[in-house]
Amino acid sequence: MSWSTPLESKRGRAVNEHMVKAWFDLVEEVTTKYGIMPETTYGVDEVGTNPFNGEKEWVIGARQAAPQYQQRDGNRENITVLVTICADRTTPPPAAIFKGRAFQTKWKQDNPADAAIAYSEKGWTNGEIGIEWIKFFDEKTREKANGQHRLLLVDRHNSHYTWGFLEYAHANQIIVLCYPAHTTHLLQGLDVVVFAILKRMLSDKRDRWERETGEMVSKSNFLGIYGRAHLRALTSETIKSAFRKTGIWPFNRNIISEMDMAPSKETSCEGHLPATVSPKVDILAKLLQDLSVRPAAGADSEMDDVEGRVMMEDEENEVLRNTQQGVASRETEVQSSTSWTTSDPVDVIRAAFTSLSAGLLAHLFLNGPISSDSATPPDVNQPIPGPSMRLRGFVP
C-alpha cells in the first residue's frame, strides 16, 4: 500500500517515449561534443518557502477529540531560494530572494550556507535577478571548471531565457539546457529527490529554533535557519541520487520506465472516423442520389411533386431504353448479380436505394442520423449526417 499523488493531465501526456528519447539524445550529444564531466554538470531550480507557517504533521500523544495545534506567525510572505547542485556531489552556495524594495543589512547577520541575497517586489525571481544569479554562479564555479565548458540544466522559468542571461552564459562557456515542458517531476533531480528532503529539514530547524529561543522566524534569522537545513539536506549521497535517478550522471537513457510513461498512453478503444467506402460504391451512391433528387426543388404542392415524379420516370425510362440497346451483355451481367426480379426499372432503382439506405452505407443516402435498427459500421460510434439536400421522388 502506498500514497497516490495527483498528477496534472498535461504532465501525464508530456512524458512519452518520443519526448524522453529526444531529451536524452540532446543530453548525450552536448556532453559528448563539449566533453562535459561530472564536475562541470550542474542543475538549478527555485524553491518557494513560507517559513512563517507550518505544515500538517503527525504527532504522538493521547487521543483527543480536538485537533493538536502548533502556533504559527500567520505571515504568508514568500521567500524564494535558488538551489544549485553539481554531479560531483557538491553544491555551490544558494541564493535567497526576499520580498522588499531595498536591501537591509540585518538580513545577513547569520549565514552558514554563504547564500547570496536578492530582493524583489513579490519575493520571486525575475529577469534582472536571473542575470545577477548567472554571474554569481559563474564566479563560484569558474575555478573548478578550469576553462572547460559547463552544462547548466534549468526549467522553463522565463528568468532563464532573457537576452542578458543567455548572452552572459554563451560568453563564459556555460551551456544552458532546458527540461521539456511539464516533465520536471521525473527529469529534474532537485524536484525528484532534493526538495522534499530540504523542506522537511527546514521545518525541523524552524521548530527547533522556536522551541529553543522562543522567537518566531523572520527575515533577520531566516538565513541562519535555512542555511543549517540546507547543509544537512544536501549531502553528497542526496546529490548523487538526484543525478542518478534522472539519468544525467551516470548517463542512463532508460531511467524513465514504461510505468512512468503509462499516463501518456491512449486508453480509448472507440473509433471516431467514418467507415472507409470503396470508390465504386461512392459512384453508385452518387448516381442513385442524383436520380432521387432530380425533381424541381421549388415544387410547393402535392400536384407539383406528382408531375415532377412522372416527368422524372419518363426521362429515366428513355435513358434506360437507349442504354439497353448498346449494353445488352452488361445488363445481363448486372441482372445475374442482383436479386431483384421486377422488370420495372423505376422499381429496380427504388429497391436498390432502399436496400443500400438500410445497410452499412446508410449515411450516404439518408438525410439525417442512421436509424437505430440499421447496421452501423463497427468503427463508427457517432451518428454520421447524410447529404445536405432533401431527398425526394424515389424515397419510399
Is the bond into 250 cis (omega within 30 degrees of 0)? yes
Residue 13 binned pLDDT confidence (cut-offs 50, 70, 90): confident
**C-alpha grid cell, residue 80:** 524564494
C-beta atoms surrounding 139 within 10 Å: 12
Q: Residue type at 33?
A: K
C-alpha cell of residue 308 = 415532377
**pLDDT tens readout for residues 194-231:** 999 999 999 899 989 988 988 888 888 999 999 999 99
Share of the chain above pLDDT 70, in %: 60
What is residue 68's predicted lDDT score, i.e. its pLDDT? Answer: 61
Residue 143: band (very low, low, confident or very high) from pLDDT cuts 50, 70, 90: very high
**Bridge partners (DSSP) listed for residue 73:** none
Q: Where are the domains of the chain?
A: 9-53+72-264, 268-396
Helices (H), the chain: 9-14, 17-33, 127-145, 163-171, 184-187, 189, 195-213, 219-233, 236-244, 258-261, 279-292, 302-326, 328-336, 345-357
Q: 9-53+72-264 architecture in CATH?
A: 2-Layer Sandwich (3.30)
**CA dist list (Å): 31 to 26, 54, 183, 294:** 9, 41, 20, 72
Q: Tens of pLDDT along 262-279?
A: 888 765 555 445 556 666
> Which pLDDT belongs to residue 298?
46
Q: What's the mean pLDDT in 79-86?
A: 96
Structural contact between residues 79 and 96, judged by C-beta atoms closer than 8 angstroms = yes
Give 290-349 pLDDT, tens digit per residue: 666 554 444 444 445 545 554 555 555 554 555 455 444 444 444 444 444 444 666 666
> Is the model's pLDDT at 364 over the cut of 80?
no
**Would you say the C-alpha torsion 323, 328, 330, 331 has a positive or negative sign?**
positive
Model confidence, pTM: 0.65
Average pLDDT value for the chain: 77
Largest CA distance in the chain: 113
pLDDT of the residue at 390: 35
The model's pLDDT over 148-184, given as tens digits with 9 standing for 90+, comes to 999 999 998 888 889 999 999 999 999 999 999 999 9
Closest CA to 38 of 241, 179, 249: 249
What CA–CA distance (Å, rounded) separates 236 from 343? 94
123-133 residue pLDDT tens? 889 999 999 99
Distance between CA atoms of residues 389 and 294, nearest Å: 11
Percentage, residues of the chain above pLDDT 90: 42
